Amino acid sequence: MTDLIGASAALGSIVYLVASIEYTLILRKNGAILLPALLLSAVWGLSASQFPTVDFLHAAIWSTSFLLLLHQTNQLKPLTVRWLFIWAVPTLSLVMLIYALGSNGEPNQFQFYVYLLCCIGTLLITEQLIRNSNGLVRTLVIGIGTLFLFNLYLYSSALIMGEVSVAMVQARGLANTTVGLLLCVAPLFSHSTDYTRKKIELSRPLVFTTTSLVLAGSILLVVSGLGYLLSIGGGQYSTILQPFLLFLAVLFIGYNLASPTRRSRVRIWINKNFFQTKFDHNIEWRNLSERLSPETSIDDLYETAIRAVLPIYHVETGALYLQENGSYVAKGRIGAAMQLPPIDAQTHRDCLDKMVQQNWIYFPRSEESGLARFNHLLPDSLRYMLVILPLTNRDTLLGFITLSTDSADAHDFDWEDIDLLRIVGKQVSNFIAYQMLSDEMVVTRQFEAFHQFTTFVMHDLKNLIAQQALVVENAARFIDNPEFVADAINTIENSVKRMDRLVQKITRNRAADELGALDIKPVALFEALQLAIEKCSGREPAPVLHPPTDDTTIVGDIDTLIMVFTHLITNAHEACEKTDTIDIHLRAQADRIECKIEDTGSGMTQEFVDNRLFKPFDSTKKYQGMGIGAYQCRQILSKIGGRISVSSKIGEGTCFTVILMKDFRTESTTI
C-alpha cells in the first residue's frame, strides 16, 4: 500500500509539472499567474510530513493566484471592504506559515482552526472566480477548489477526532494526483476564450514511419497481458499457450502491416484526426459559393462553373463536358483548344460508369496505384489531364470538368484532395442542374404561352364558326326575308372584321397575354349588352334587359365586352329550360358599373364554382367545348380593372355579377 501511495505522489508531481508547462503556453498571461501555484502543487503531494506548514503555503499561493485572476476580470476594486476582506485570506495564510515555521513544535488546534478559516476564504474566492471565468480557467479552478474542500473536511475531522487520520492524508495524496491528471488532459477538451490554441504537431513522416511500430507494440502488449493472466490461472497449459499467443500476435502483425490498403487506411485515419488538414473546408466552401454566384448572364454559366474550380489547384485551363445526343460535348472551355473532341458514351461506357457508380475522380497523371487504378479506361483525349471531376445528380452523370496544366510536375494528390473535390463536384453539379432546370422552365413557359395563345385563337374561331353556322342553318327558311338577309350580311361582316383582327395579331407573333389587346374607347354597356343579346337571339328563354336609371358608359373595348356578355348569356341559356327566365340588370355606382345576369336554371354546386368553373380546359360539355370560356372572361375583365363573381344554388339558378370601373386607367383602392 505504501508503494502505491508513493507512486501516486510521484505521478502527481510529474503531471503537475506537465500541466504547468501546458497552461503557461496556452493561457499566456494567466498561465504565468498560475505557474507558481502549479509548481508548488507538484511538491505539495510529496510533503505530507510537513503538516500543516506546507498547507498554509499551498493556501497562500493558490488564493493569491485566484485573486490575481479575479483582478484580470476587473471584479476587484481597490480600497473597498470586499477587496480588503478577500486579500486577508492569503495574508493570514502567510502569517500562519511564518508562525508554524517559528514554533518548531507539533501542530496545535489553533493552527487547525486558522487553516479552516483559510480554506473557507479560499473557497469563497474560488466561487467568485468560477462565476467570472470560463473554459480552461474554470476547469482548473473547479479542480483546485475541490482539493480545498477536501482539506476542509480533513481538518474538521482532525479537530473532532483529536488526531489526523493517516488514511485520509494518503487519500488526499490520491485526490491531488487525480486533479493533476484532470488538469493535464483538460486542454485537449476545453477551449478558453482568452487565448488562441496552437496545435502542437509532430512530423507526418515521423508518425507514418512509426505507425507500424506503434501498432505492433500495442498488440504485443495485449498479448503479454494475456500471457501474464494465463501464467496465474492457466495451470499446466500456460507454458504452451504463452508462446502460441506470441506466435499468433506476430502472424497477425505480419499479415496486417504487409497490406498496403490497411496501412493506407491507418495513415488516413491518423491524418484526419491528429493533423491540420491541407484545406480549410469552411473557407473553400465559402469561396466556391461566391465564385458560383457572380453577376453574369445565364449564357456564361458553363464558364462560371469552370472558373469556380480552377483556383483550387491554381490552374488556368479547364473544360466542362455535358451530355448531348449520346455523347459528352465540351460546352464551355477556358484556356483550352477551341475544338475538343466529344466523348462517345457507348464507346467509353466503362469509364463513365465509374464516375456514376463510385463517384470516381480520375487523376490521369498520378503515379499512385490507388488513384491510377482505372486510368486505363480513359479516352485518349483525356489521358493528359490533371483532374477529371464527375458531375453527378441523382445517380445521373450530367457531365464532368477537366483541369489541365502545362507544368510537367504532377501534383501530389491524396485523400484530402479527393474529399474536397467530391464536395466541389456536388456543389457544381447542383449549380449546373439548377441552371438546366431553369432553362427548361423558361422553355416550358414559352410553350405554355404558345398553347394558351392557340387555345384563345381556337375559342374565338369556334364562336365565329358558330355564328356562321347559325346563318347557314336559317338561310333555307328565311332567304326571302330582307331582314334576315340584312342581319346575315351584318353577322358575316362582323365575323370578317374579327377574323381579320385575329389574323393580324397572329402574324405579329404576339404573346398569349397580348392576344386580347384592347381598343380602348368609351363604351355604353347597355348597347354592348343589346348587341350580345342579338348574337344569342333565336334561343329560349329570351333574355330580358332592364334599362338602367343612370349613365352606364365606361372606358373599355366593346368587342371584348360583347364577347364576355355573349359567353355569360350563352351559359345561362344552356342552364335553362324554355320556362325559365334570364334577367340582366345594370346599376351605376360612384366609380363603377355593376352588371348582373341572373337565371332560374339548374344552378351549380359551390364546390364546382370554387374549383372548376374558372379552371382552364375543364369542360362539362365533353367534346363540345374547350373549357376556357369562363377563364377567358375573367382574364379579359382583369385587364380593364374588372372582376366577376358567381353565386349559385342547385335547382334555384345562377347569378353572374360583373363589376367594371368607369375608367380603369385611374387609381382605385377597391373594386
Torsion 455-461-465-467 (CA) sign: positive
Residue 464 lies in a domain: no
pLDDT reported for residue 489: 81
Q: What is the mean pLDDT of residues 523-541?
A: 86
**In this prediction, what percent of the chain has a pLDDT beyond 70?**
72
Do 595 and 649 fall within a single domain? yes
Choose the weakest-confidence range: 12-21, 226-235, 481-490.
226-235
Do 314 and 369 fall within a single domain? yes
For residue 526, give the C-alpha cell.
347597355
Do 157 and 27 fall within a single domain? yes
Q: What is the mean pLDDT of residues 93-105?
A: 79
Do 53 and 168 fall within a single domain? yes
pLDDT reported for residue 667: 47
596 pLDDT higher than 90: yes
pLDDT reported for residue 515: 40
pLDDT reported for residue 514: 45
Range of 154's domain?
A: 2-188
pLDDT reported for residue 510: 46
pLDDT reported for residue 646: 92
Do 251 and 154 fall within a single domain? no
pLDDT reported for residue 512: 39
Choose the weakest-confidence range: 43-47, 171-175, 411-415, 634-638.
411-415
Choose the weakest-confidence range: 314-323, 355-364, 604-613.
604-613
Q: Are the beta carbons of 576 and 601 closer than 8 angstroms?
A: yes
Mean pLDDT for the chain? 77
Do 162 and 50 fall within a single domain? yes
The total number of structural domains that make up the chain: 4
4 pLDDT higher than 60: yes
Residues 6+ apart with CB under 8 A from 580: 541, 599, 600, 601, 653
DSSP H helices, 543-605, are: 558-575
Residue 367 belongs to a domain with what CATH number?
A: 3.30.450.40
611 pLDDT higher than 80: no
State how far the Cα of 146 lies from the Cα of 62, in Å rounded to an integer.
13
For the beta carbon of residue 467, count every other beta carbon within 10 angstroms: 17
pLDDT reported for residue 394: 80
Angle at 279 between CA 277 and CA 287, to 5 degrees: 155
Do 167 and 107 fall within a single domain? yes
Residue 320 lies in a domain: yes
pLDDT reported for residue 599: 94
Please provide the distance, in angstroms rounded to a whole number, between the alpha carbons at the two ends of the chain.
97
Does 32 or 195 have the greater pLDDT score?
Answer: 32
pLDDT reported for residue 232: 62
Do 170 and 229 fall within a single domain? no
109 pLDDT higher than 90: no
pLDDT tens digits, residue range 329-375? 888 888 876 678 889 888 899 999 999 888 899 998 887 778 888 98
Place of cell 365606361: 554
Identify which of 135, 111, 127 has the alpha carbon closest to the alpha carbon of residue 56: 111
pTM, entire model: 0.38
Do 339 and 382 fall within a single domain? yes
517 pLDDT higher than 60: no
Query: Which SS3 state, helix, strand or coil, does residue 534 take?
Result: helix
